[in-house]
Amino acid sequence: MDKMGRIRIAGGNQLNGEIPISGAKNAALPLMIASLLTSEKLVLNNVPRLADVRQLQLILENHGVGIGAQNTPGNKGLGGQTLAFSTPAITNTCAPYELVSAMRASFWVIGPLLAREHGARVSLPGGCAIGTRPVDFFLDGLRALGAEIEIDEGYVVAKAPRGGLVGAKLRFPKVSVGATHVVMMAATLASGTTIIENAAQEPEVGNLARCLVAMGAKISGIDSPRLVIEGVSSLHGADFDVLPDRIETGTYAFAVAMTGGNVLLAGARPETLRTALDVLELTGTTLQEEEGGLRVIASGQRARAIDVETQPYPGFPTDLQAQYMALMTRSTGTAKIRETIFENRFMHVAELARFGARISVEGQVARVAGVIELQGAQVMATDLRASVSLVIAGLAAKGETIVNRIYHLDRGFENLEEKLSRCGADISRLAD
């Protein structure tokens, strides 16, 4: 018996109907962290109900954030929640190992804590299943703003001497979503102007920047690789919406492409995943932008093999690489998939092989030779996106699939089984 949860799928059903797209996990997390920057109330709408959100609530509460839920049933009962965050005073500037090690993004509290309290002690996040994921860009960025940083027993101890951070011009050596979030948040309360070059342009960064502006920050160059932040002395409250999840959108679009069918991804914002959707169209799936979202129409025929390479936004997202690989397992040719963001993000390859997929990996390149049909199998989830690629494969495979250790899925996909079963999938969670 697996205490970490299992999902059973009887494959072969087409998907038809409507799937409401949730608020983006990777937008909600930094927005929640931004609440540390103000003593006033930050209200966030469309926050997905996910394990990562609950974990971050615990982390924020540890710093003195009061969090209240306002009931919003939302879209057909599957909608997100409205949460209100109030931090009249930061009661603790230490983020302990026990809390930070459970989720890497919690390290990002270092930016607001340093900006508002001029000091923070935050555990290093440690390793993770998709690669080493260092924090050097964060630390160099904060140092550029005048922070003094030491590493002490696994903790980053950061201080802003002489009364706070000071604006500066900096350039990230490589695009980093997290480092952009953190330095941007820190710079909002620094004295003077900060210029961040080679900033991440992911829509979640733009979402955070717009929220900060709603809170009184002065930021220009939003959605560009050059952010200019003029520091202000304090930020105020705001009421702000979490962006719809582009990775969830792409995941369900690929699922429909694999099973066949016709599904409206309600509330999806196609412009936030243009490259992935262009690729999907090239593989043979029809996409229609409608007022209510994105409609995916798939014949159920095997996809054409199209090569992809993951890239920072606006390129093909690394967070859709595993799901795309699932789609390519049944293509009519051989697809080359190159992962350029993370060094170890092919954990799903061995599991996809259990369905009969033919994939070979050499360094950062996977070659996927399409097969006519996948066979249901027992598989194990490794990380969030890898897990959902196994669900997609299971939906299209012949026979029964059991996905073990699905607690990873609960970190990032809201109501996955309900959303899929409403569209005709035979999917259920097994009681352990």
Applying CB under 6 A, the residues found at the interface with ligand EPZ are 26, 29, 104-105, 131, 133-138, 174, 176-179, 318-319, 341-342, 384-385, 412
Sign of the dihedral through C-alpha 55, 316, 262, 369: negative
Catalytic position from the list 94, 128, 211, 423: 128
Residue 54: CB partners within 8 Å, gap ≥ 6?
A: none
Contact in structure between 307 and 336 (CB atoms under 8 Å): yes
**Which amino acid does the sequence have at 122?**
V
Whole-angstrom Cα distance, residue 303 to residue 300? 8
Give the up-direction half-sphere exposure of residue 382: CA atoms within 13 A in the CB hemisphere.
16
Instruction: For residue 128, indicate whether it is catalytic.
Output: yes
**3-class state of residue 157 by DSSP:** strand
Nearest Cα to Cα of residue 262 among 285, 291, 246: 285
Sign of the dihedral through C-alpha 28, 33, 36, 38: negative
Whole-angstrom Cα distance, residue 88 to residue 221? 30
**3-class state of residue 307 by DSSP:** coil
**CA-derived radius of gyration, the chain:** 22
Whole-angstrom Cα distance, residue 217 to residue 233? 9
Taking the complex as a whole, how short is the minimal distance between the CB of residue 385 and ligand EPZ, in angstroms?
A: 5
Distance of CA 6 to the CA centre of its chain: 22
Residue 86 tokens read as 């109030």
Whole-angstrom Cα distance, residue 179 to residue 108? 8
Residue nearest to ligand EPZ (CB): 178
Which class for 362: exposed (0-12), middle (13-18), buried (19 or more C-beta within 10 A)?
exposed
Q: At what angle do helices 25-34 and 203-214 cross, to 10 degrees?
A: 30
- C-alpha angle 170-171-172 in degrees, rounded to nearest 5: 125
Contact in structure between 106 and 118 (CB atoms under 8 Å): no
Q: In the beta sheet, which residues pair with residue 153? A: none
Taking the complex as a whole, how short is the minimal distance between the CB of residue 186 and ligand EPZ, in angstroms?
A: 14
Active-site residue list: 128
